[in-house]
Amino acid sequence: MITINGHQLTIEEVIKVARHNEIVKIDQSAYGQIEESRHWVDEITQAETPVYGINTGFGIFSDRKISKADAALLSRKLILSHAVGTGENLPIEVVRAAMLIRANTLAKGYSGVRPVIIETIIQMLNKHVTPLVPSQGSLGSSGDLAPLSHLALVFTNDEQDNDEDSGWALFDGEKISGKAAMHKAGIPRICLQEKEGLALNNGASFSAAIAAIAVYDAECLLTSAEIALAMSMDALLGVSTAYDQRIHAVRNHPGQVKVADKIRNLIKGSTLIDATGRVQDAYSLRCAPQVQGAAEDALTFIRDMISREINAATDNPLLFSPGIALSGGNFHGEPIGMVMDFLSIALTEVAGISERRIFRLTDGKLNEGLPPMLVDTPQDAGLNSGMMMPQYTAASLVLENQTLSSPDSIYSLPTSAEQEDHNANSMTAARHALQVTENTAHVIAIEVYCAARALDIRLRQYPEAKMGRGVSMAHQFIRSHIPYQAGDILWGPEIERTKKLVRTQELNKFVMGAIDVN
């Protein structure tokens, strides 16, 4: 069970709820602050002093005073008018992650919502009511207004309670109206009160949700990329000198040192390494710790930023003791947008250097005596294409990554009649980072698949040779799931199976756990 209080949510807990349906509850200790902040909203409403977002209009209309009688209606109209997203719906895991993060944000106790708002979101998570949320239409400034409004449509209502105003949701695998989904799940829908509409849609929670998933997956991929590198090193009869601990110690970048340490452990005991007498390798082998290590260091920074963001109070205004409403800009998604751009760049480089190793494995002039395109024997070339097309696919995905990793957070267009004159573009940056993550997973899977095949062929050439201890385990694991195929077959499904082993961490756990590499 995951307990939220606005302060201690982890990326791993987000994944447990988003992907594995872990049960969620509110920490009892959070209720005091939640209820106190709601009391402050009530006091402001009674006093009728203009306070942004509580009894005024929004954005360019912040100077328009709203009567006490209409203050609650203001929240409902905000949700209805802002649910204008477009495009394909976001994956279920992203919506669930965003719901958890938004509930956690509100549980922090600075947003002025009633506890029932948070409790309802949690019930939806626990009973698997998932709003359908379009993926496009958010600038990530004033938060993810449109996506969060689509989410809120499902569990909020008004006196009319029209089915057509309730959005759409998935429940029991069926797409139905939000109203119907909530009814079937036995969860009452809520009439919003003052401030609650703005508290629900004002914050970059969908950007943060995508970011949390991307960070988690990226960390898994970096480990898989190290295993792929070690396998390619063995298959290409690599030179160990470049991994000497002394080289990396004197540059002293933690990620670089970590990657070199892991590769030394993975290739330990290999008789294929240093078998040619070459002095040094091409950069894709020799400089891999510097490239993949830089990505490790980038991810450490990115994880820290996103871990803070999923525990942040991000709407506006925020309520502070003794009942002071402060208007600010915590909804602005710039911190997420910047680090998602950084993540895209880091993973694009990891995929890029992986593709270069795939290229070397398949090029008969560069692969140290392996058959061209890794056909079974040189005599099979021509009739068989071998790994020609998997390398094409890897190259295509790397090129796509290079486009997707062009920074999004540097772009801005003004909105709301120049009131919102600098926007973060964080949602686009996060969506692009998630796509880069998916593309990188496929490239790494192709390298693992090609390297395993190259090792099979190499061991036929050198029957007495030994692979490195970690490489041997990786090869054994792949072959236990995907047997060697001599001639051309439909390679695509086998590569997809390899990607699944990479994405689910099965390969990582089998190899790294057995050789005790951290």
What does the pLDDT look like over 176-233, one tens digit per residue? Answer: 999 999 999 999 999 999 999 999 999 999 999 999 999 999 999 999 999 999 999 9
Residues 366 and 503 in one domain: yes
List the domain range (segments joined by +) for residue 470: 209-314+331-413+422-515
Of 164, 179, 203, which closes a domain?
203
Which CATH number goes with the domain that contains 275? 1.20.200.10
Q: CA 410, CA 7: separation in Å to the nearest integer?
A: 30
Query: 17 lies in a domain?
Result: yes
Output the pLDDT for position 417.
83
Of 149, 175, 203, which closes a domain?
203
Residues 47 and 110 in one domain: yes
Residues 222 and 284 in one domain: yes
Q: CA 25, CA 4: separation in Å to the nearest integer?
A: 6
Residues 270 and 348 in one domain: yes
Residue 420 pLDDT greater than 80, yes or no:
yes
CB atoms within 10 A of CB 78: 23
Phi, psi of 372 (to 5 degrees): -60, 135
> Which whole number is the average pLDDT over 375-381?
96
Query: 21 lies in a domain?
Result: yes
With bands split at pLDDT 50, 70 and 90, how would you rate the model's confidence at 271? very high
Residue 82 near residue 133, CB atoms below 8 Å: no
Residues 281 and 162 in one domain: no
52 catalytic per annotation:
yes
User: What is the C-alpha R_g of the chain?
Assistant: 26
Residues 270 and 222 in one domain: yes
> Which whole number is the average pLDDT over 482-506?
97
Q: CA 256, CA 286: separation in Å to the nearest integer?
A: 12
Encoding tokens for residue 181?
């989904």
Query: 77 lies in a domain?
Result: yes
**Of the candidates 228, 488, 463, the residue with the CA atom closest to the CA atom of residue 383:** 488
Q: CA 365, CA 385: separation in Å to the nearest integer?
A: 16
Lowest-confidence pick of 105-114, 234-243, 419-428, 448-457:
419-428
Q: At 126, is the secondary structure helix, strand, or coil? A: helix
> Which whole number is the average pLDDT over 345-349?
98
The total domain count for the chain is 2
> CA angle 285-286-289, nearest 5°?
90
Residues 163 and 260 in one domain: no
Residues 158 and 279 in one domain: no
pTM for the model: 0.96
Of 157, 183, 203, which closes a domain?
203
Query: 319 lies in a domain?
Result: no
For the chain, the first-to-last Cα distance in angstroms comes to 27
Residue whose tokens read 């200790």:
29
With bands split at pLDDT 50, 70 and 90, how would you rate the model's confidence at 143? very high
Output the pLDDT for position 29.
96
Residues 197 and 246 in one domain: no
Encoding tokens for residue 258?
């970590």
Q: Measure CA 26 to chain center.
A: 25
Which CATH number goes with the domain that contains 17? 1.10.275.10
Residues 341 and 361 in one domain: yes
> Which whole number is the average pLDDT over 230-243?
98
Output the pLDDT for position 517.
52
Query: 70 lies in a domain?
Result: yes
Query: 12 lies in a domain?
Result: yes
Residues 195 and 241 in one domain: no
Query: 323 lies in a domain?
Result: no
Residues 13 and 106 in one domain: yes
With bands split at pLDDT 50, 70 and 90, how would you rate the model's confidence at 445? very high
Query: 367 lies in a domain?
Result: yes
Per the residue annotation, which of 31, 52, 216, 392 is the catalytic one?
A: 52
pLDDT digits (tens, 9 = 90+) for 15-50: 999 999 999 999 999 999 999 999 999 998 888 788
> CA angle 11-15-17, nearest 5°?
115
Q: CA 32, CA 49: separation in Å to the nearest integer?
A: 25
